[in-house]
Structure 1
Amino acid sequence: LMESIETWHAEHVARPRRRASWRALRDRAATVDLRQLARARRGRLDLDAPHDWVEGWDLVASAPVWVPLEAVTLDTVFGARAPWFDVSSNGLASGNHLLEAIVHGLCEVIERDAEAGWRAARGDVRVDLATVQDPGSRAILARLADAGVHATVWDLGSDLGVPAYGAAILEDPAEPAWRALGMYQGFGCHLDPEIAVGRALCEAVQTRVTYVAGSRDDFFPFDYDRATDPEVLAPIWDELHAPAAAVVDLRDAPRLATATFEDDLRLLVGRAVAGGATRVVVVDLSRPEHGVPVVKVIVPGRATRVELMG
């Protein structure tokens, strides 16, 4: 439900806009550096071409800053040209309070950046699942085991030192309970590593359920054919059961969560700045008539999935 609310707000951005090129606008107002934004696949960069901008708030400078609408919206009707920047839900979040939404959005940006780095490096630092203590995560792991589904959790190794994990679930493709259903992944980031692992596991399960239910209209027959092909799944199964490069105890992971969203946000922004960020931008997409805090968080220079794919 909350994802639907977030998507609607991002599809209907109701903020004042300015139309100008980056070179023209930066002489009159603070702007993000377009060269640091994630670009769409095959997206070109023209610093002199005009496009729409919306105003956000820079948490580093504590000042307004303008960002391309294209980097904020999920309205994918672009007219004659293809998008230049990554049009995605990365950093899009909602919450019971504006600060909660911002923290959630910033954690997702950190998560996607960590995932991109982990994939590029082919990271294989796994979590010893026996050291997971959270009751909710333990219940999920037990349900998976009872169903004959193998679970693997990796430490993504974020360079910001913020707990970020990836999970994969897969049943033996040679002996499926009914038929091969594929491998499904999920990722999570939170200042509490137990919560981060729980998020990764939940997302992996959610992805599997989505495939089974066929509830997304952007999954096509060839996606299902590949996801359930035993010849594709067999080497993945073998890889998941091969010795890991390293195994870590989740109890040794740093517990960074504070008692308030204000302090959580202060810590996260500090980590981002220490990692080289010069801006952490929040665009408030909330609509007074709906009363749900929704934001888009953008950290120029941090990687996204589209950059890895490109």
Structure 2
Amino acid sequence: MPAVDMGSFGEPYLAQLETFLRGHHRTLWTLDLTNDLNVPAFATASRRIDGAPEQILFGFGAHLDARIALLRAVTEHNQMLSQILYAPADSPPGADLTDKGTVEWLRTATVANQPYLLPGPGPARVASDFRFCRTDDLKDDVLACDGIARQRGTELLVLDLTRREVGLPVVKVVVPGLRHFWTRFAPGRLYDVPVRLGWLQQPLREEDLNPIPMFL
């Protein structure tokens, strides 16, 4: 996937974070995951560059405003930083974590054995490459998302789960056909969209998909 030039967004926080991570011998980068929905989506990752294990961390963000999408990816990435940067020097990566998938990732994953984490060839995407489609009205933003779904042959379904005795508004939103980041491998967009966008020449088979389940 293409790299994203984070500096092009003019956010001082991002420059400060890169400087902070360099001080801890880590490098930071972002990939553009935006697909046929044209809603800006990013993955931000970092890794150690002073030895093994690389302790690769990552986070994701999507939003109608590309700047907010990028900041969300970065802040999700940051949620695991304390587990790495402030762990006792004599403890292995993830020693205080209970999720086996996360621990295995922190101890064994590298950009060499997980090369999809690195940017693909070609110029990096900049802030001006992303169409700003956010409005000043949340309702209009929701209707815009519904329109995007309808353009792709699906719809935005909203279930009101608010409990009267609590009074806190709660809804569940589902877009049939879109894929969760969990392991959902039935036929559909997961296989079709990469071909439609020219990322692949033909659909992958299920056995060719990334075998590492999402553990965030």
Normalising to structure 2: TM-score of the pair? 0.69
Contact 2:111 2:117 in 1 (8 A): no
**1:76 aligns to what?**
none
Distance in 2 (alpha carbons) for counterparts of 1:205 and 1:225: 19
Q: Which residue of 1 aligns with 2:107?
A: 228
Larger relative helix fraction: 1
- RMSD, aligned CA: 3.1
Normalized per residue, the structure richer in strand is 1
SS in 1 for 2:178: coil
Residue 249 of structure 1 pairs with residue 126 of structure 2: yes
Deviation sequence 1:260-294 (CA, Å, 0-9, x none): 101111111111111111x3111222334444333
> Residue 143 of structure 1 is aligned with which of 6, 20, 23?
20
Residue 124 of structure 2 aligns to a residue whose secondary structure is: strand
Indicate the residue corresponding to 2:66 in structure 1: 193
Q: Please tell me whether the aligned partners of residues 170 and 237 of structure 1 are also in contact (alpha carbons under 8 angstroms).
A: no
Identify unmatched segments of 5+ residues in structure 1.
1-123
Which residue number in structure 1 is paired with residue 201 of structure 2? none
Cα distance change of structure 1 residues 143 and 301 upon mapping to structure 2, 3 Å threshold: same
Which residue does the alignment assign to 1:83?
none
- Pairs aligned (count): 179
CA distance in 1, matches of 2:171, 2:12: 30
Q: Answer with 1 or 2: which has the greater Rg.
A: 1
- Distance of 2:142 and 2:56 partners within structure 1: 34
Identity %: 27
Give the whole-Å Cα distance in 1 for the aligned partners of 2:120 and 2:97: 38
User: Cα offset for 1:133?
Assistant: 1.8
Q: CA deviation at 1:250?
A: 1.8
> Whose relative contact order is higher, 1 or 2, with alpha carbons under 8 Å and at least 6 apart?
1
Which residue matches 1:90?
none
SS in 2 for 1:293: coil
Q: 1:248 to 1:282 in 2, by over 3 A?
A: same
Deviations 1:224-269 (A, max 9, x none): 244223xx42515877667634421123311111001011111111
Q: Quote the Cα distance in structure 2 between the aligned partners of 1:304 and 1:246.
A: 29
Give TM-score, length-normalised by structure 1. Answer: 0.50
